Amino acid sequence: MSSVAVGFDIDHTLAIDNKLERVAFLHLLERVIESGGKALGTLAEESNNIDALLAYQRGGACTIEEAVNRFVRERGVRPHEDYVEGFKRMALAMGETFVVPDPEAKPMIDVLAAGGVTLGVLSNGWSPLQELKARRAGFTGKVLASGDLGVQKPDPRAFLALAEGLEMQPQSCFYVGDDPRADVVGALSAGFQAVWLDNEGKTYPPDLPAPSHIIRSLRELPVLIGAVALR
Ligand SMILES: [Mg+2]
């Protein structure tokens, strides 16, 4: 089975993070207000604003540093690297408690690794938070975070960077993720076999290219990889 590689998404694939970055932003809001800034609405509205900002950032529109600077500026405080560092420190401190691995992640990783499959992680996010999440899920190999790559999923260049990092041809790579657009369409566009993890009862958008494979649980992955690799 050493002729194939498998790349993984992290969030809602190997682990959930219980919105730890939203909480870190809410703590940042506290600091901003202490520094003379003003909230843009109620706490509930600010939570929605933060989710929108994080979605914008994860979609590749800006870096996490730019998102923090924008958040601070919009609330009337001059951006400063202390806010960025404070935000990152808070998020990382919460990682150990907020990030909960899928119970099936580590056993699945161990089976694939024992079978000689090359494994990697490609995630839209920043370092070292994404590494921390991957480690919590029992993954010890290469972790590529979009913040370091300068490109985000679904851009095929992110997946090609993963293949290169794993020293594999794209056609020998699988990519496993829960997001139809970022994970499946991105992986397909880079020439990977895309495995859609459908473990949250979502409907696959009918207007998007279909995944190469669908699994309902990570437990199904070693059998799938073994069957395809032996073909
Ligand atoms: Mg995900």
Which pLDDT score is estimated for 229? 63
Pair 111, 222: CB distance under 8 Å: yes
Enumerate residues 6+ apart whose C-beta is below 8 A from 14: 8, 101, 102, 105, 121, 133, 134, 137, 139, 218
- In angstroms, rounded to a whole number, what is the distance separating the alpha carbons of residues 128 and 46? 26
* Ligand 1 centroid to residue 193 C-alpha, Å: 17
Enumerate residues 6+ apart whose C-beta is below 8 A from 170: 159, 160, 163, 190, 191, 192
* Ligand 1 centroid to residue 71 C-alpha, Å: 24
CATH fold group of domain 5-16+100-229:
Rossmann fold (3.40.50)
- In angstroms, rounded to a whole number, what is the distance separating the alpha carbons of residues 8 and 145? 12
Share of residues in the chain with pLDDT > 70 (%)? 98
* Ligand 1 centroid to residue 103 C-alpha, Å: 16
Q: Which parts of the chain sit beneath pLDDT 50?
A: 1
* Ligand 1 centroid to residue 152 C-alpha, Å: 13
* Ligand 1 centroid to residue 82 C-alpha, Å: 29
Task: Record the pTM.
Answer: 0.91
Which pLDDT score is estimated for 227? 74
Best CA proximity match to 174, nearest among 220, 127, 114: 220
Q: What number of other Cβ atoms are within 10 A of residue 187's Cβ? A: 31
Instruction: Enter the tokens of residue 112.
Output: 């694939």
Name beta bridge partners: 214.
Answer: 196
* Ligand 1 centroid to residue 141 C-alpha, Å: 18
Category of 125 on φ-ψ map: left (φ > 0), alpha (ψ -120 to 50) or beta: left
